[in-house]
Chain A
Amino acid sequence: MTGAHLVQAPSPSENYETFFNGLWKQNPVFVQVLGMCPTLAVTNSVRNALAMGAATLFVLVCSNMLISLVRKRVPKQVRIATYILIIATFVTIVDYLIKALSIAVYKALGPFIALIVVNCMILGRAEAFASRNPPGKAILDGLGMGLGFSFALLCLGAVREVLGAGTFLGVPLFGPRFQPWVLFLLPPGGFLTLALWLLVFRAWQSRKERKQEQWRAAA
């Protein structure tokens, strides 16, 4: 990190990259394979997946911002404890918020709201990005990573709800005689669906890389 970085406003293309890094290229679930606990546990319906995604997004953006603001005042030796404290504060806020907004969602997510504290993706962003970058960029990074995480949860939740219950966001798709694929509502279904999406993303990625290589070789 150079000094010029801290004084100069980041260029638009750099901001763009910070944001889309989390959304796609460094997607927390499909590329970094972080935060597996909520990814597998609460994606049995689209509603739960969205709620968990939104809660994580909120915590990630707020904690990234605050950690970035205090990054020069926190001694190196106690930084992890400070990060966890900040993250836990926002998780508590989210916990009460969800309870106030929808008790049904609160019951469905159960202990997994409180467990956002130990989502290694959030601590990872705090340590790897927010503590080294100005607040603006940290917020952008939090937004990108949080949206990328929500997007991944939505991908899993959609497959599991459509096959496991025949509905999407509670709307029946196949009529009353739908045969549920029970497995997809159970934990093994979570693992299978995750594997399926990882396969799709890796295949896509390797295909893109192969094309780029061909392009480079031709040029």
Chain B
Amino acid sequence: MPPLAPEIELRTSPHFHSNRSVEMIMRNVVYALLPLCAFSVWNFGLSALALILVSVLSCLVTEHLFCWLSRRKSSLGDWSVTITGILLALTLPPGFPLWMVAVGGFVSVGLGKMAFGGLGFNVFNPALVGRAFLQACFPTAITAYSPALAKNRFTEFIPTTFTPPFLQPPPLADWIERVRVDAFSGATPLMQQKFDKVTADWQPLFFGTVSGSAGETPALLILLCGAYLAARNFMDWRIAFSMLASAFVSGAAFHFLNPAVYPHPWFVLLSGGLMLGAVFMATDMVASPVTPTGVWIYGALMGLITVVIRNLGGLPEGVMYAILLGNAVSPLIDNLTQPRVYGVHPRRRTA
């Protein structure tokens, strides 16, 4: 008698399966980041390419090392560490010394991710942990920006790129004098606005042909890449939207209180790392809240903090700290905004 084949398969929930895996989502985020990398290389030249490659490589090596040390299967295959590497590179100045980039990659993955137990356990966005570490360690190097669309950018590197390990990067002023195509003084649009009260036009900001961190300049391209992710539902568009909207509204409030000092809300939206941060970093799936009301509060909080730091703080840019603060309070937001469980008495919280 042949063995009876089970006609009904008995299983516990979930019964509904989709073909989505961590690996597939992360790979798509990498695809969405590639156009930004390409633009960055076109805008800033060979140095940006070296920056991105070294950053990704150091993140991959660190992840592999930590997996080996803790005797786990290597988690390079889930692509999340590649995203961390690319994002870290995109938030650094294009001529950032490569040895510092490698340090940043190590700190991002080692301290920001693996020390907490790997993907899914990190409290903060790993790339921003690395960048915050670099900002605290090397405050001068991380504010040494180079001009966009410099002459010879495809034939020579920015002189600071190949600084020997542990040594200071050389001053950039002479090199900038030689390669610049316009009246670039070594300041990004944000710095010019804050310190010289010169507000840039919207077109270069929108299309990205300005100085700044390697991948933060092209607002239009970032929005398009984000739209791809949002359309395929790989990214929570509500977080990005509420962060940008909140920055716009609070920027407008500041502007109409004192137009001479505070920039126009469109400038707030298009300048600096706000777009990149809102679309690719605030939406980090691990470090952001999950409740329907929570994501709106989370985004709005980060947008507000960004504008407050930019307008009232000593730094020209506040997106990084805003997102890190948002990450820090996201478990709290989750706790406070638990939706009512269906069928449970409305007054009684189940948490």
Contacts and interface: CB of A to CB of B under 8 A. Distances in A.
Interface of A: 166, 174-175, 177-179, 181-184, 186, 188, 192, 199, 203
A168 to B, nearest CB: 13
Contact of B167 (A177, A182, A192): A177
Contacts of A183: 133, 136-137
Given A166-B166, A174-B166, A179 B138 contact: yes
A13 B135 CA distance: 52
Contacts of A192: 111
Nearest to A173: B166
B264 to A, nearest CB: 34
B137 A181 contact: yes
A178 B136 contact: no
B152 interface: no
Interface residues of B, number: 15
Contacts of B138: 179, 181-182
Closest 4 CB pairs of A and B: A183-B136, A181-B137, A179-B168, A183-B137
A178 B168 contact: yes
Interface of B: 69, 100, 111, 115, 133, 136-139, 141, 163, 166-169
A146 B73 CA distance: 42
Contact of A179 (B111, B136, B141): B141
A100 B190 CA distance: 53
A182 B168 contact: no
A179 B139 contact: no
A174 B69 CA distance: 30
B136 to A, nearest CB: 4
B134 to A, nearest CB: 9
Nearest to B163: A179
5 contacts: A177-B167, A179-B100, A179-B167, A179-B168, A186-B136
A188 B115 CA distance: 17
A182 B166 contact: no
Contacts of A177: 167-168
Nearest to B135: A183
A182 B139 contact: yes
Contacts of B163: 179
Contacts of B141: 179
A178 B139 CA distance: 14
A178 B167 contact: yes
Contacts of A182: 136-139
A105 B223 CA distance: 56
A207 to B, nearest CB: 11
B137 A178 contact: no
A174 B165 CA distance: 10
Nearest to A166: B166
A186 B136 CA distance: 9
Contacts of A179: 100, 138, 141, 163, 166-169
A188 B107 CA distance: 14
Given A178-B167, A181-B137, 16 more contacts: A166-B166, A174-B166, A174-B167, A177-B168, A179-B141, A179-B168, A179-B169, A181-B138, A182-B136, A182-B137, A183-B137, A184-B137, A186-B136, A188-B136, A199-B115, A203-B69
A7 B328 CA distance: 59
B50 to A, nearest CB: 19
Contacts of B139: 182
Nearest to B107: A192
Nearest to B134: A183
